[in-house]
Chain A
Amino acid sequence: MSKSMHQKKPNFIDEYREREAATRILEKIHAISTKKITIMEICGTHTHSVSKYGIRNSLPPNITLISGPGCPVCVTASSDINRIIDFVETHPDVTVATFGDMMRVPGSYSTLSEAKANGADIRVVYSPLNAIEFAEKDPDKEVLLFAVGFETTSPTVAATIKIAKEKGLKNLSVLALHKLTPPAMRALMDSGGIHIDGFICPGHVTAITGSEAYAFLAREYKAPCVVAGFEPVDLLLGVYMLVKQLEEGRANIEIEYSRIVHPNGNKKAQQVLLDVFTPTDALWRGIGEIPGSGLKIKEAYSGFDAERRFEIPSGPEIEPDGCDCASVLKGLITPPECALFGTACTPERPVGPCMVSSEGTCAAYYRYKSL
């Protein structure tokens, strides 16, 4: 190990950005890799890191690294984007709080950003707890938290709802469009549209769920899995562990990101999640309805359920003309294969959701020039 790794106090980031370590792992990958394989990473934060650090092009040509449906903003159904836009336009008296990435996601006709520019009271939050602050500050005003996100984020929203109940807040509700990732992976494998040899599993989702939540991919589909962190050394080591399994003909679930992820995950967070939410069917943009892949608020917290407090009818499900996000999200094409990529569709003027957030596959490809 290089000395510099120990010279500084660890911050659990810089140690995993060391060029020397990255180069050594990369050499190892090149040395052991003989088979032609396709690997999918299924987390938007991985998608971003893979592009940012140029990992895709540094791998041997026989390894194809593709991105899956790992960006929560991108997989929020256009009908759901449309209905929240419709809601803010018809409820000027309600404050809507949401995560920044949601603002520019194109619905069928408009975005939340445009609605805000037209006078709607939409506020970007860093934490769902900010919605509690808004509600406490102005008790006469209804605050609606428009919440998306995978298992990393949904426990924070569940905890927020529990805190709001303890505080006896009466003017806060949540439109919860959270998605569960394992059912989506099952749906992707069952669709048969794509051949995937192994998976890099999402580090922060599995911090909550535990790696066991993904073990079915190895056991039932014989696809080896490695749960990896997000720094370049983490990702490369994850790829190395995966390639090693594939070269040796094994299909196990392994954890590269062992400083954070355990087989059984964070039990306390899982409990908070289950206290407030129960699984339900959910519509994924570009993929369709997936059984048991969403979360709905339980009866005990129904007072905080925006769907019960307000009429929020579903909007139309119409995709922007020419946008191929559906195929991008399923890993069937890479962004440059979309006719609009980089011409009509750019991060400044996104046509589809995959070009909006820095974790969207199209945005990651564009920003880092397809590296």
Chain B
Amino acid sequence: MCLAIPGKILSIDGDTARIEVLGSIKKANLALLDNPCEGEYVLVHAGFVIERVDTKRAEETLSLIGEL
């Protein structure tokens, strides 16, 4: 039940964002995220954005694996 999927915010209208999730466009509520911005990657769960994706950290994790 804790499944959540990353996507990219395309546009923001009030408390709702249009988000590209795996090629399709979904709407999600932004009430749980501080300062959401268009263009950023976020995590969507049950119709809400629950956190943003830290893309720098994502890169770091991948390079860490490369160096193992």
**Which residue numbers of A lie inside 8 Å of B, CB to CB?**
1-2, 5, 10-13, 15, 21, 24-25, 28, 43-45, 71-73, 99, 101, 126-130, 148-150, 152-153, 155-156, 159, 162-163, 202-205, 207-208, 230, 233, 237, 240, 256, 258-260, 266-269, 272, 357, 359
Contact = CB atoms under 8 A, between A and B. Distances in A.
Contacts of B50: 152, 155-156, 204, 207-208, 266, 269
Given A207-B50, A260-B53, A359-B1, A266 B32 contact: yes
A25 B68 contact: yes
Interface in B50-68: 50-51, 53-55, 57-58, 60-66, 68
Interface residues of B, number: 33
10 contacts: A15-B62, A25-B65, A72-B1, A153-B2, A155-B32, A159-B48, A204-B3, A266-B50, A266-B51, A357-B1
A259 B61 contact: yes
B53 to A, nearest CB: 5
Nearest to A204: B2
Nearest to B7: A11
Given A43-B2, A44-B1, A149-B1, A129 B65 contact: no
Interface in B1-56: 1-6, 22, 29, 31-34, 41, 43, 45-48, 50-51, 53-55
Contacts, number: 136
A231 to B, nearest CB: 11
Contact of B1 (A21, A73, A208): A73
Q: Is the interface of B mostly helix, strand, loop or mixed?
A: mixed
A159 B32 contact: yes
B27 to A, nearest CB: 9
Given A1-B65, A153-B1, A268-B32, A10 B58 contact: yes
A126 B2 contact: no
Contacts of A129: 29, 47-48
Contacts of A163: 29, 31
Contacts of B57: 258-259
> Which of B5, B32, B47, B58 has the most A CB atoms < 10 Å from its CB?
B32
B4 A152 contact: yes
A179 to B, nearest CB: 11
A153 B2 CA distance: 7
**Top 6 nearest A-B pairs by Cβ distance?**
A127-B47, A1-B66, A259-B58, A152-B2, A12-B6, A269-B32
> Which of B4, B43, B46 has the most A CB atoms < 10 Å from its CB?
B46
A12 B32 contact: no
Given A260-B54, A272-B31, A155 B1 contact: no
Contacts of A272: 31-32
A211 to B, nearest CB: 13
A355 to B, nearest CB: 16
A32 to B, nearest CB: 11
B31 A205 contact: no
